[in-house]
Amino acid sequence: MSYRADLGLRTPICDLLGCDVPILLAGMGGVSRWELAAAVANAGGYATLGMVREAPDLIESEVRALRAATDRPFAVNLIPAATDPGLLDAQLARCLDLGVGAFSFFWDVVPQAVARVKAAGCIVLHQVGTEAAAHEAEAAGSDILIAQGIEAGGHVHGRVGAFALAADILSRARVPVVVSGGIADGAGLAAALAMGAAGVHCGTAFLATEESFAHPYHKSRVVEATASETVLTDVFVLNWPAGAAVRVLGNSVTAALDGRLLGHDPDTLPREPIAWDGDVARLRYSTDSPLRTTTGDLEAMPLYAGQGVGRIVDVVRASDRLRHMAEEASGHLVRIGKLALAEGNRA
């Protein structure tokens, strides 16, 4: 059931994207499959399918399953800079053939990819980690900028805090700006809206839900963790460009680095299978996180989590997490409004 629209949370992106509340599901590769996307969309948020480097046939099956579960709009997340050009071409072609109406891109801005989907009439959301990338993405035609801070789980492009980055981008951008990184509750949403942002973009908060395709082990580690247990490292880099840092929960792999978390050359890392999804090997140091279908040494795989992890204390339905976030944010904004009114009356 869609969430109430009377909470005072509507922003311009709600009309642009067709959602009731400005809470966006991050396109987490492997994790944000149709079941989670449908749960978020049906609850009134905006859903993104995480389809980085996935085969076009899988993308099609996920899109069809999602459409069977909801009539709400959604985006497909692709990573041009981390995808073989031939595969990216096939992914975009299949999505356009299916009538996908919105795309979420990340990492380096690839103007050709943006132009291709814009020419087909699609909405483009672009996640960026720097002011320069935000300018490039907007110039390329992106409709919404997602300002990702260093607090974020998974791949982290920039090195500035989410709210500091969002403030800088807001001062120049002519399109809506969404805050991403470390936001796991209504206080974060309220803070984003209070500063003039159009919404928030959440990954870790929705990874620890019943509908997420993450492995139960990953979910349990998220529930048990605190912010201080996350680390930023580029040792889990196989399949991505060199220097691509990720925020994960510390494990045996990061502990063995003896503090040298950054500066790893993927060409020097061994290709050692440690886990499997069916007959597909998952390598130590790869970016693959454990999914429902994964077997093997799950502890040694990257367990993505943002610094908001300490505020996630249970695995719940995605609709319940979204509902609680929206209600809490509305309460905060009401109190802020009353405080501002009281200050004005005293002036």
Q: Indicate whether 230 and 177 sit together in one domain.
A: no
Domain boundary among 167, 189, 213: 213
Q: Indicate whether 209 and 228 sit together in one domain.
A: no
Per DSSP, the three-state class of 346 is: helix
DSSP string computed for 132-201: HHHHHHHHHT-SEEEEE-TT-SEE---SS-HHHHHHHHHTT-SS-EEEESS--SHHHHHHHHHTT--EEE
Q: Indicate whether 150 and 277 sit together in one domain.
A: no
Q: Indicate whether 231 and 197 sit together in one domain.
A: no
Residue 153 within a domain: yes
pLDDT per position as a tens digit, 73-88:
999 999 998 899 999 9
pLDDT per position as a tens digit, 258-279:
999 999 999 999 999 999 999 9
Strand order in the sheet with 294-296: 280-283, 273-277, 294-296
The share of the chain scoring above pLDDT 70, in percent, equals: 95
Residue 315 within a domain: no
Mean per-residue pLDDT of the chain? 95
Nearest residue to 233 via CA among 206, 209, 269, 187: 269
Q: What is the CATH number of the domain that holds 110?
A: 3.20.20.70
Residue 334 within a domain: no
Residue 298 within a domain: yes
pLDDT at 128 (0 to 100): 98
State both tokens at 205: 């908060």
Residue 322 within a domain: no
Q: Indicate whether 109 and 148 sit together in one domain.
A: yes
Q: Indicate whether 240 and 204 sit together in one domain.
A: no
pLDDT at 1 (0 to 100): 41
CA gap 128, 126 in Å, rounded: 6
Q: Indicate whether 33 and 116 sit together in one domain.
A: yes
Domain boundary among 183, 213, 243: 213
Mode of pairing for the β-strands spanning 154-155 and 246-249: antiparallel
Using CB atoms within 10 A of its CB, is residue 79 exposed (0-12), middle (13-18) or buried (19+)? buried
Give how many domains the chain has, as a whole number: 2
CA gap 135, 144 in Å, rounded: 12
Residue 263 within a domain: yes
